[in-house]
Amino acid sequence: MTTDNEFELGVEIDRIEAREISKVDCFGVAEEATSLPYQDDELTSQLGLALHLTKVQAERAAWQKVGDTYNSMPWAEFLFIVIDGYGFEVISLNRVTYTPSYSEGKETYLWELVAAHKEKKLLLYATSYTSGGKETVSGGHVYGRVQARENRNDLFDALNGCSYGSFESDSIRFDIDVRTGLITKLMELNDAGEFINWRGDEWLWLLCYPEQKMLDETRAEGRDLRMEKEAEFFATSPDWVRLFTGRS
């Protein structure tokens, strides 16, 4: 019979395996094998691509095994992981209908989620992609600010794979791609630091695919759709979200 400690150890080993798979540089491995740069050698390029396709499948299986996010995961499974599993609260969930340029006038839709974590002071934005009646995760980010516990180097190690700014009074803003290993990355950051209230000037991207197409048009009109949507979101969000994001 497996004890709780043995189960937790097994999950941690699986997380380590998933992280190691994610770090593999497929084209670098191909170049080591042939001693030729992949940009200049067709065989090396083909080998790198084959390794990459194998890595995608292995990485997907590894993250799925530990109950974390993975590329092209079903939208419903993603919602379960971040909301029921990690504790994000839904702030808004909208169905956006649009007509892609490649669809020959056929209308489709996506889901747009904004969620927040009250305790950890995190904001999540994600969208779905719908094709053939199947809804999968298209993309998105988790935004936050973390303060180093003891050693900045430990926090820098945990920030590997994130986008982040520069340190300001021992804290740093970050954002994480939601598509691969999101929960594991948040655990690493929480181990190396403490999630804290934002300064209020953190950069956010709350635009879905059809709105991204409109962004340049609004700027040409002297407007900025990104800033407009951000202001609209905070105007209608709960007080506790405005408080930890410094937008109150």
Taking residues 195-216, report their average pLDDT.
Answer: 89
Taking residues 81-95, report their average pLDDT.
Answer: 95
What percent of the chain is modeled with pLDDT above 90? 43
The CATH number of the domain covering residues in 75-244? 3.30.70.1150
Whether residue 229 contacts residue 218, with contact meaning beta carbons closer than 8 Å, is answered with no
Between 8 and 81, the more confident residue is 81
Res 104: pLDDT: 66
> Residue 35, by phi and psi: left (phi above 0), alpha (psi -120 to 50) or beta?
left
Whether residue 196 contacts residue 147, with contact meaning beta carbons closer than 8 Å, is answered with yes
Q: What are the structural domain ranges in the chain?
A: 4-65, 75-244
Beta strand 163-164 pairing with 108-117: unpaired
* Helix runs in the chain, H state only: 4-23, 26-34, 42-65, 75-79, 152-158, 182-192, 209-220, 225-236, 239-244
Residue 102's pLDDT band (cuts 50, 70, 90)? low
Res 181: pLDDT: 93
Q: Which of 37-51, 73-87, 109-123 has the lowest mean pLDDT?
A: 37-51
- pLDDT tens figures, 166-182: 888 889 999 999 999 99
Res 7: pLDDT: 43
| C-beta neighbour count of 23 within 10 angstroms | 8
